[in-house]
Amino acid sequence: MAESRVAVPRLGAWVESGNRVRWRVWAPGHRRLEVVLHDGEGKPGRVLPMTPEPGDCFGAVLEGAGAGVCYKLRVDGEGPFPDPWSRSQPMGVHGPSEVVVPDFEWTDLGWRGPDPESLVIYEVHVGTATPEGTFEALIPKLKGLRELGINTLELMPLASFPGTRNWGYDGVDLFAPLHAYGGPTGLRRLIDAAHAQGLSVLIDAVYNHFGPDGNYLRCYSPHYFTDRHHTPWGDAVNYDGKHSAPVREMVLSNVEMWIRDYHADGLRLDAAHAIVDDGSPHLLEELVARARAAALDRQVLIIAEDERNEARLVRPASDGGMGLDGVWADDFHHQLRRAFAGDSEGYYQDYTGSAEDIARTLRQGWFYEGQESKNLGHARGTSASGLSPRGFVHCIQNHDQVGNRAHGERLGHDVSPAAFRAMSTLLLLSPYTPLLFMGQEWNASTPFLYFTDHNEELGRLVTEGRRKEFAGFTRFAGDTVPDPQAVATFERSRLDWSEAERPPHAGVRALYQELLRLRASEPELRSRRRGNHDARVVGPDALVLERRTVEQRLLVFVNVKGSLEYALPEGRQAKVLLWSEAPRFGGTVELPPLRDGVIRLEGPSAVVVRIPS
């Protein structure tokens, strides 16, 4: 535990006094390090010897130089290798590192960050969101997203990865925004423009593993990893063993960089359950503290993807928790997917999709609170009692739930348009924080496939592994899974924004706009307090979500299948605010489904009704 609190000097390369570049590298056990300068074409030139410094570090200074210097590092005569603490990799993860300075002229000085009570998150893969696949190409889309009712972008991982086509979870240079997306300057322009439109920006950060290609950490120290813990990607990152202090500092200073130097409004932590740390304080606690300190007077949010349903993640540190602002709670997605699409293999075997289980998930925030999981073979989850609904991030699709299907099928490929509208209504009118996957707001038809751009040998293994992964699934028997390495697989995943203006997609977008307007404006829907909502069964395959204030109640009836006929005791005082099958949303129900005090729904559908308390 004491090891993690050892002071770690600044590492990497930076500019001092405007005309001096300083390097510092952590390389325990090595005797000789050198900086090898490179020209603009990546060719090596002058060599600078590095001097041993305290803390198993080596340092060097280059006078009369500044931003734009390119370099690699030679270790005991081996290499040279890119700097794992590099702030820019303009020629890719195997090319020279580049010295950069955070001298961007920001226009967001009045920005105070997101409101955690009103988040509506929009998950974006930068490379496929536009034809250009860059940060700056996203800027013209921001106004439309804000007008729709989105207030937060969540950018899938940006740290440099091998090649130009990847989801980002194979990143190896934590501090270097991908050059193919527009590098450091492009990212700053996007975030500044987002703030100008009133949009917050969260960055998806991967601290549980490093990608296999372009990962040069072991060239400098074996202590970046440990065999004391194991993850799905092999040896764990060393956050709690001998020599772990610089490893922890790598992550903590990376968090600080995104918040301070790029004005990001927070992070989404990938697979936080695989960030293994037996020390105290846990890395996640320190990460939250570092993010808040870097933000100064701005609000920042740290949200974790974590499959364990652990309440301690979002409980405040003062209450024995880790102080995160939110956690992905996928039970909601899994219940709805089972109910409307019928998925039952893999982890879906743990869910019934019954109206009662959907209602229970809505009451609690997640479904599993300690029950035995058939899929895992052990108990899963803790009670969500007392946790604010805002801390649960719900979705009906995300990059995993789309891209990890064999053919990258979006939800709209597997459920009817009516089911999609009903599921969307429940998602956006619940008290929990909704997450939309890019294009969801118009039920995009383009798939989001798994794609990579690895070297030939690794790429072949990835392709073979991907196809083997789906061989045991009934629905994919005999199918050929698209080759992740093929350029065509990547190109097929690009969004077609023009769809949003054409039927039937335009109707879906109109529904999303109206749902988000209601969410932001109706008093019953604005409340995120636990105790101000309930959910219960109202038929064999139907449920109602109730949102309430002292003055009145708002009821969201959702029918999964078959027919629902439900008499409202206060029916003659009820007012219909929205029904998912209205023609303007692409449905076929001309008249509101509330007549003579009775709700009548046929097939997958939803209706929103207000009644006095």
Give the active site residues: 270, 305
Provide the β-strand partners of residue 63.
20
C-alpha dihedral, 471 to 476 to 479 to 482, nearest 10°: -80
Beta strand 121-124 pairing with 433-437: parallel
- The phi-psi region of residue 526 (left if phi > 0; otherwise alpha if psi is between -120 and 50; otherwise beta) is alpha
Between the two ends of the chain, the Cα-to-Cα distance in Å is 55
- Beta partners for residue 51, in sequence order: 59
| Rounded (5°) CA angle 85-75-51 | 80
Residue 184 phi/psi, 5-degree rounding, is -55, -45
Residue among 587, 447, 423 at smallest CA distance from 510? 587
Q: Decide if 603 contacts 597 (C-beta within 8 A).
A: no
Quick count: other Cβ atoms within 10 Å of Cβ 570? 13
> 238 vs 223, 249, 481, CA distance in Å?
7, 11, 35
CA dist., res. 28 & res. 141, Å (int): 47
Q: Token digits for 65?
A: 């130089």
In the block, which residue shows the tokens 């749902």? 515
- Side chain identity at residue 41, one-letter code: E
Please choose, from the candidates 116, 156, 195, 199, the residue with its C-alpha nearest in 3D space to the C-alpha of residue 438. Answer: 156
Place of tokens 């990608």: 211
Q: How many helices (H) and strands (E) does the chain have?
A: 16, 31
- Whether the CB-CB separation of 330 and 392 falls below 8 Å is answered with no
The three-point CA angle 144-265-498 to 5° equals 20
Report cis status (omega within 30 of 0) of the bond before 612. Answer: no
> How far apart are the C-alpha atoms of 15 and 180, rounded to whole Å?
24
Q: Residue type for 111, please?
A: W
